[in-house]
Amino acid sequence: MALISLALRHAKTYWVFIVFVLVLQLLSTMALLWLPSLNAQIIDRGIALGDTDFIWRTGGIMLLASFGQLAVAVAAVYFGARTAMGFGRDLRREVYRKVDSLATLEATKFGAGTLITRGTNDVQQIQMLVLMTLNFMVSAPIMMIGGIIMALREDAGLSWLVWVSVSVLAVIVGFLVWALLPLFRVMQDKVDAINNVLREQIMGIRVVRAFVREPFETDRYGVANREITDVSVKVGNIFVLMFPVIMMVLHLATGAVLWFGGYRVADGDIQVGSLTAFLQYLMQILMAVMMGVFMTMMIPRAVVCAERIRELLDTKSTLSFPEAATLETPEAGRVVFENVTFGFPGAEKPVIKNVSFAAEPGKTTAIIGSTGAGKTVLLNLALRLYDPQQGSITVDGAPVSELTRDQLADTLSLVPQRPYMFSGTIGSNLRFGRTAATDEELWEALRVAQGEDFVRERELGLDEPVSQGGTSVSGGQRQRLSIARALVSKPKVYLFDDSFSALDVATDARLRAALPSATQGATTIIVAQRVSTITDADQILVIEGGEIVGRGTHDELLGSNEVYQEIVRSQLEQAEADDDQERIAFDSSAGAATAAAYGAKREVE
């Protein structure tokens, strides 16, 4: 079972603590069991016979035993909590490492939401069970069995009362727990549901606003919220019942003990003190039964959580990186794709079909093609976000699959299509690829990326805070920061995925003019939407449906390649310009219109 295997695996680390806690619990429970019998002796011997000395002595012992029990119990709870929290920390770390090692494909399959829940809430549930187990699972059975033995020692004649009240309580509490369990399960689902709705709405808040979908989304949230309320109310109703019912059983049991015990005292079968002790033992037994039943209530929930965590931990990453470097880190950065074919698992058709090309150091290779053609996937393959089913991708002859993570990161730098910023400052984001970079180097990178001006305008400059996801900077600013970030890390190969789309044509041109001196002999691969961005590329690959359908320079392709001609024509039409094809490279209105159209699409994304 997932829960047990998880618990055992981690128990090894903590066995000293666990044994210690168990011993403390044992001591504490024994003290609790001893006290009523001392009390009985005071009544039966001390009071009944008027032996004041005995009362003082036994009273003193009781006091000591109570303090001792208190100290031991506090220590037990303390060490129990430390063990449980330590266990939780280890498990969370394990989950985190797993998530970190998962390939993009598996991570997307799980989804961010459930990965977060598994790493936090699920771990917490198990941690809670471990805590309760350490606190009660030991003391409850000892208390119950010890209580029964002690009670019978006081008066065997009343033993039937113990059996009856224990059974009645167990049945009633058991029934209530049985009614609660399915509700708890539903509740977990509803918590998941409301989290999902909320997450989606927060992530998509701009789209929701843009399309005035607030009423619809509010309704959706309302439904989820109402459902969780309904379940909670049902759970609450049962809990409301639970405590009065339990108290009723306890009081009835007390009444019965006094009633039947009274007759036995009158008949001289037992003494008053024994009866008092019997009553206290019965209460302890019933308490133990209750704790036991509550414990069992937690188990199913923790089991579900353990299974979810197990599932995650058992997922094998489809990508493995070599631990130690076996190959030299590429020096030049010549990227070669050879007959690369790749399809997403479960998809019928490959997304990339038999792609071969070489991107030379010091040169710019541009990739252009319609949306969905596979440009992003192509770059992701070079970065090893996934491995191709066929073919090979090498940098300076070294297969990317044989480079370590660090080597890959040193060699290739990606400016993603949808740049992401981490919470921190502009500086901390730029230093992502190279922590040691100086402020001067950051400014230099910003200058090339055409981001210097807007960072200078900020009051704190490089220390200006950036919010998670980079929502506090504009789309174009984020794109420029992302370009600067790649420049700071000084890789051998630059991969720009549609990184100039949010820039106006003039800025785009300035950036491209500044790039060569900054990238100095590095290989540059640019995915572009606008033809104007890539007219001066050394090599342009036209890709359509995952295949390369044309390659050459701008002029060569203009003359020979139909798909390229079509792309150029459509961009011209968009600009409502005339058929002067040369104009597109320089005419800012054509580019600007495309940029505007594209920028609008971007905002909605």
In the complex, least distance from residue 200 CB atom to ligand TTP, rounded to whole angstroms: 18
Q: CA 373, CA 545: separation in Å to the nearest integer?
A: 5
Q: CA 87, CA 10: separation in Å to the nearest integer?
A: 7
Q: Cα-atom radius of gyration of the chain, to the nearest Å?
A: 36
Specify the residue, 36 or 343, whose C-beta has the smaller distance to Mg ion. Answer: 343
Specify the residue, 262 or 345, whose C-beta has the smaller distance to ligand TTP. Answer: 345
> 539-544 and 547-552: which strand pairing?
antiparallel
Which of ligand TTP, Mg ion, none interacts with 371 (beta carbon under 5 to 8 A by kind)?
ligand TTP
In the complex, least distance from residue 15 CB atom to ligand TTP, rounded to whole angstroms: 45
In the complex, least distance from residue 497 CB atom to ligand TTP, rounded to whole angstroms: 7
Q: CA 598, CA 198: separation in Å to the nearest integer?
A: 29
| 377 near ligand TTP, rule: CB under 6 A | yes
In the complex, least distance from residue 216 CB atom to ligand TTP, rounded to whole angstroms: 27
Specify the residue, 414 or 442, whose C-beta has the smaller distance to Mg ion. Answer: 414
Distances (CA, A) of 142 to 38, 74, 131, 147: 19, 18, 18, 8
In the complex, least distance from residue 371 CB atom to ligand TTP, rounded to whole angstroms: 3
In the complex, least distance from residue 420 CB atom to Mg ion, rounded to whole angstroms: 15
Applying CB under 6 A, among 131, 279, 298, 373 the residue interacting with ligand TTP is 373
Q: Which of 563, 102, 545 is nearest to 341 (CA)?
A: 545
Specify the residue, 505 or 541, whose C-beta has the smaller distance to ligand TTP. Answer: 541
Which of Mg ion, ligand TTP, none interacts with 67 (beta carbon under 5 to 8 A by kind)?
none
> 390-395 and 424-425: which strand pairing?
unpaired
Check: CB of residue 154 under 8 Å from CB of residue 37.
yes
Cα dihedral 443, 449, 450, 453, rounded to 10, equals -30
Applying CB under 6 A, among 353, 375, 490, 551 the residue interacting with ligand TTP is 375
Which of ligand TTP, Mg ion, none interacts with 15 (beta carbon under 5 to 8 A by kind)?
none
Which of Mg ion, ligand TTP, none interacts with 435 (beta carbon under 5 to 8 A by kind)?
none
Which of Mg ion, ligand TTP, none interacts with 373 (beta carbon under 5 to 8 A by kind)?
ligand TTP
Q: Which residue is nearest to Mg ion (CB)?
A: 376
Specify the residue, 288 or 351, whose C-beta has the smaller distance to Mg ion. Answer: 351
Residue whose tokens read 């890539």: 534
Binding span for ligand TTP by CB under 6 A among 40-48, 190-198, 375-383, 567-575: 375-383
Specify the residue, 165 or 376, whose C-beta has the smaller distance to Mg ion. Answer: 376
Q: CA 465, CA 178: separation in Å to the nearest integer?
A: 52
Q: Which residue is nearest to ligand TTP (CB)?
A: 376
In the complex, least distance from residue 478 CB atom to Mg ion, rounded to whole angstroms: 16
Binding span for ligand TTP by CB under 6 A among 285-293, 306-314, 369-377, 516-524: 369-377
| 372 near ligand TTP, rule: CB under 6 A | yes
Residue 266 is encoded by which pair of tokens? 């009158």
Edge-first strand order for the sheet with 364-368 is 412-415, 493-497, 523-528, 364-368, 539-544, 547-552
The neighbour count for residue 268, using CB atoms within 10 Å, is 7
Binding site for Mg ion (CB under 5 A): 376, 417
Specify the residue, 130 or 495, whose C-beta has the smaller distance to Mg ion. Answer: 495
Tally the C-alpha atoms within 13 A of residue 309's C-alpha that lie toward its C-beta: 33
In the complex, least distance from residue 402 CB atom to ligand TTP, rounded to whole angstroms: 24
Which of Mg ion, ligand TTP, none interacts with 359 (beta carbon under 5 to 8 A by kind)?
none
Query: What string marks each residue from 496 to 515 as x (binds ligand TTP by CB under 6 A) or -?
Result: --x-----------------
| 417 near ligand TTP, rule: CB under 6 A | yes
Distances (CA, A) of 190 to 56, 186, 229, 230, 429: 59, 6, 9, 10, 37
Check: CB of residue 342 under 8 Å from CB of residue 350.
yes
Specify the residue, 234 or 418, whose C-beta has the smaller distance to ligand TTP. Answer: 418
Instruction: Write out the E strands in 372-500.
Output: 390-395, 398-399, 412-415, 424-425, 465-466, 493-497
In the complex, least distance from residue 231 CB atom to ligand TTP, rounded to whole angstroms: 35
Burial class of residue 564, CB neighbours in 10 A (0-12, 13-18, 19+): buried
Applying CB under 6 A, among 376, 394, 532, 571 the residue interacting with ligand TTP is 376
3-state DSSP call for residue 324?
Answer: coil
In the complex, least distance from residue 375 CB atom to ligand TTP, rounded to whole angstroms: 4
In the complex, least distance from residue 531 CB atom to Mg ion, rounded to whole angstroms: 17
Specify the residue, 376 or 479, whose C-beta has the smaller distance to Mg ion. Answer: 376
Distances (CA, A) of 84 to 8, 120, 192, 417: 13, 15, 25, 43
Query: What string marks each residue from 326 to 365 as x (binds ligand TTP by CB under 6 A) or -?
Result: ------------------x------x--------------
User: 540 forms bridges with which residues in the sheet?
Assistant: 366, 552
> What is the total count of residues that contact ligand TTP (CB under 6 A)?
12
Q: CA 188, CA 124: separation in Å to the nearest integer?
A: 13
In the complex, least distance from residue 404 CB atom to ligand TTP, rounded to whole angstroms: 24
Q: Which of 153, 133, 162, 136 is nearest to 29 (CA)?
A: 136
Question: Which residues contribute to the site for ligand TTP (CB under 6 A)?
Answer: 344, 351, 369, 371-377, 417, 498
